[in-house]
Chains A and B, each alone.
Chain A
Amino acid sequence: MTTHAATAQPQPSYLVDTGSRKGLMAWLTTTDHKRIGVLYLYSMIAFFLVGMGIGFVMRLVQLTSFQHLITAQTYNALFTVHGVIMIFLFVIPGLPAIFGNFFLPILIGAKDVAFPRLNLASWYFFMAGAILAVLSLFTGGGAPDTGWSFYAPFSLKTGTNVSLAVFAAFILGFSSMLTGINFITTIHRLRAPGMKWFRMPLMCWALYSTSWIQLLATPIVAITLVLVILERFFGIGIFDPAKGGDPLLYQHLFWIYSHPAVYIMILPAMGAITEIIPTFAKRTIFGYGAIAFSSMAIAGVGSLVWAHHMFTSGMSSVANMVFSLLTMIVAVPSAIKVFNWVATLYKGSIDFQPPLLFALTFIFLFAIGGLTGVMQGALAINVHIHDTYFIVGHFHYVMFGGTGMGLFAALLYWFPKMFGKMYSKKAIYASWFPMFIGFNMLYFGMLILGMMGMPRRYYVHLPQFHTMHVVATVGSWFLVLGLLMFFGALLYALFKGGKAEDNPWGGVTLEWTIPSPPPLENFETIPTITHGPYHFEQESK
């Protein structure tokens, strides 16, 4: 897509240590955006596997009489920790921190992000927060048992180690904000000559909107969590009804961040899908402008829907109706994207490869997650299914089926570029089957359980729910099997995989014009951009 100089003297790849430090120290002190992205990748996959293990155990508890192994208190700790790890250490930072760091500068034709040292500092904040979160499990009064949402007043009264866990989330928020500042500045200042706003690949638009949410929403949860800590240590009384405070204020402040946070999770995944689909349909994206603006619309409207988590908390019915309407409206820009992806595939010359399979899986699972979300936005239905397994099923469809599958698709798409190795496509296809079947058994099972009336976060269940619980638990085994096969295939490829070509998929965005793995400075000479991002030759006449 660009003019680039012939590579006479190829630079060494970013994986080769060129500075004075070698090995691990070279990685821990790097300011290279690609290495930082890889650091995030390794740490997050590790946290994901821990979170997955905890989820697996929780399903076992629901299956049989394992309950004599795990007490109710431990079960409360397990779902709290599962939520904290998966949300704060995997799905929120996942795509921006890994693929945003690695590919944002390359996609816009830059050598690095605007503030490389701040970027490394963000990773250290992330690791510090992660270590504190893990410490909170074993120190103080034991693992927090409040659920990941830390609702007051219980979070103020429980003797477990809430303060440390909340402080960990505060530090993680810092990492997220600094990354947001870095990306916005990068996109404003470091685009290559000719890379106009509407010539940027759509991943950049997704990261741009995500960064604004990180910037505008994260400080609210930061101050809310600080208030929880102050309340626990000094009793300032803002959330404590006995002192004139109001627990509902906590819920508002918490969701003012934590609802937009779900768009922090999903937008970059949508961005990655938007990169993958044109590459394998071999044609330009349908509706570039609509996708770019729908990202910004999701960021905007998504900031105004938080109270739909609180329909049964005792708000006025006017507030309920307003938030219900806004919730329905936010589904529109998401649907626009789905239609654009499908329209891009229509009459494309489709080259079916693993990344496309996972991208299509994303669309399918995200559509279920999105539609069940609209159901919950309706007030009458919400009262019936609030705090049931329906909610649990819904957000796993969105967060795991959406963000998780989007992340896996992005990983499959960019893995050859990041490491210069190609994985076994057969092994990936083989892992997809148990993953897909298990996923739907587990989470569609939860949707049905919720409709039947099974409340979430319960340690035991009534006999009438048992059959579906068995189905869901068996599904979780297939899912875990598929995930292990998936990561196993990639790990094998990392060490034993064949060499990947510079452009294995026939992509046309900037990252495919440079070697795999990319050289330290990304580009021999900064490219000059003359047209839009998805310019396939066979298409143009």
Chain B
Amino acid sequence: MSEHVHRDDFGARLGMWLFLVTEIVLFGGLFIGYSYMRYKYPIEFHHGGMELNATLGVINTLVLLTSSLTVVLAIVAIQRAEKKRAMAFLGTTLGLGLTFLVIKSFEWAAKFHHGLYPNAPHLATLPPGEQVFFGLYFTMTGLHGLHVIAGLSVLGVMLWWVATDRIRQDRYVHLENGGLYWHLVDVIWIFLLPLFYLAA
């Protein structure tokens, strides 16, 4: 089968944007569920939010926002053919993404320690609304965490491609698309922060 030699950067970006639409709708289903449950249990969600560590949540937000900045800087560097600088910025992004995951895992561990996880005996003694709150908390931050891991894997490949010159000054649409995905991960977190950590 002959490979169809055809290059269309605009088309590639369009495809990526369409994919991002599906991601937003995917989380949209959860946001619908959240809105309905919060409308049903306002007090319980308030109590649930008090259990979360808002300071760590805000720190994590800053970490992700900074990592989005460094992705953009990496793209700018590639456009200027500064390969080393691009790799440094991508490396920084990967480091910040991992930092986010580490902080997140400490938070999850603390919740488990306090018996605030689905099917935990302690959680079962709390009012139903709080059980739903933590069910949603773990589902939504867990799904977001999976997206962080997916985004880091993608950016890891991008780093490798920059190193091996598959991504270069005249051909960087893959890096742009990887960056777009990473921004999406960031944007979703910006919605999760107020919904859970600032719900109290």
Residues of A with Cβ closer than 8 Å to B?
18-19, 21, 26, 29-32, 111-112, 114-116, 118, 177, 180-182, 184-185, 188-190, 215-220, 222-224, 226-227, 230, 234-238, 242-246, 249, 252-253, 256, 520
Contacts and interface: CB of A to CB of B under 8 A. Distances in A.
B9 to A, nearest CB: 10
20 contacts: A111-B4, A115-B15, A188-B14, A216-B22, A218-B22, A219-B22, A219-B28, A220-B26, A223-B29, A223-B30, A226-B143, A227-B33, A236-B139, A237-B132, A238-B139, A243-B131, A243-B132, A244-B41, A245-B135, A249-B36
B8 interface: yes
Contacts of A184: 14, 18
B29 A220 contact: yes
A19 B2 CA distance: 6
Nearest to A182: B15
Contacts of A190: 11
A245 B136 CA distance: 10
B4 A31 contact: yes
Interface string B13-38: 01100110111011111101100110
A111 B21 CA distance: 27
B35 to A, nearest CB: 11
Nearest to B40: A246
A422 B135 CA distance: 59
Given A219-B23, A219-B29, A238 B135 contact: yes
A215 B44 CA distance: 35
B121 interface: no
A309 to B, nearest CB: 17
Given A115-B15, A245-B135, 7 more contacts: A19-B1, A21-B1, A177-B22, A185-B11, A220-B26, A243-B128, A246-B40
Contacts of B128: 237, 242-245
Interface string B187-199: 0000000000000
Contacts of A32: 1
Contacts, number: 126
Nearest to A30: B1
A182 B29 CA distance: 23
For the complex of A and B, 8 pairs with smallest distance between CB atoms = A244-B128, A236-B135, A219-B26, A223-B29, A219-B25, A19-B1, A189-B11, A235-B119
A136 B175 CA distance: 39
For the complex, would chain A's binding face be called helix, strand, loop or mixed by DSSP majority? helix
B135 A237 contact: yes
Q: Is the interface of B mostly helix, strand, loop or mixed?
A: helix
B132 to A, nearest CB: 4
B145 interface: no
Contacts of B41: 244
A244 B8 CA distance: 50
Contacts of B91: none
B156 interface: no
Contacts of B28: 219-220
Interface of B: 1-4, 6, 8, 10-11, 14-15, 18-19, 21-23, 25-30, 32-33, 36-37, 40-41, 44, 118-119, 124, 127-132, 135-136, 138-139, 143
B29 A224 contact: yes
Given A189-B11, A253-B32, A116 B4 contact: yes
A249 B1 contact: no
Nearest to A114: B11
A177 B11 CA distance: 17
Q: Among A116, A220, A236, A249, find the residue whose CB has the most chain B CB atoms closer than 10 A.
A: A236
Nearest to B44: A244
A238 B33 contact: yes
Contact of B139 (A118, A230, A253, A256): A230
A222 B28 CA distance: 11
Nearest to A26: B1
Contacts of A215: 18, 21-22, 25
A116 B2 CA distance: 12
A21 B1 CA distance: 8
B34 to A, nearest CB: 9
Contacts of B2: 18-19, 520
B14 A189 contact: yes
Contacts of A19: 1-2
A343 B40 CA distance: 52
Contacts of A188: 11, 14
Nearest to A241: B128
Contacts of A218: 22
A116 B7 CA distance: 12
Given A238-B33, A244-B128, A244-B131, A189 B10 contact: yes
A230 B117 CA distance: 13
A189 B11 CA distance: 6
A190 B130 CA distance: 52
A413 B54 CA distance: 63
